[in-house]
Amino acid sequence: MLLEVEKITCDKCGDAIQKAILAQDPTAQVTVNVADQQVRVEGLITQQQAIDALAAAGYPASNAAPHSGEGSDCCGGCS
């Protein structure tokens, strides 16, 4: 899943975000993109659990737009 997280401003934020997700799912793979304010999470955690964990850590999050973020090869035709 790819999440938009407004309050990411530095690598320390990224560390806190990763810690919040891993507390819910220790097997999750978390990639934080500070510049784009996006977090990619792959694991057993649900999207709502991830959003709730980030909100509790002080980082309100929402689902990112489809086909956005690093690695997307979207042509932009479906939105």
Establish if 72 belongs to a structural domain.
no
pTM of the predicted structure, to 2 decimals = 0.81
Establish if 53 belongs to a structural domain.
yes
Establish if 69 belongs to a structural domain.
no
Establish if 20 belongs to a structural domain.
yes
pLDDT per residue rounded down to tens, the chain (79 residues): 999 998 899 999 999 999 999 999 999 999 999 999 999 999 999 999 999 999 999 999 999 976 655 555 555 555 4
Q: Identify the CATH number of the domain in which residue 22 sits.
A: 3.30.70.100
All residues at 6 or more sequence positions from 54 whose CB lies less than 8 Å from its CB, including other chains? 3, 5, 17, 20, 21, 39, 60, 61
Q: What pLDDT score does 79 carry?
A: 47
User: In which domain, by residue range, is 31 found?
Assistant: 2-63
Give the DSSP letter string of 24-38. Answer: H-TT-EEEEETTTTE
All residues at 6 or more sequence positions from 4 whose CB lies less than 8 Å from its CB, including other chains? 37, 38, 61, 62, 63, 64, 65
- The number of domains in the chain is 1
Establish if 74 belongs to a structural domain.
no
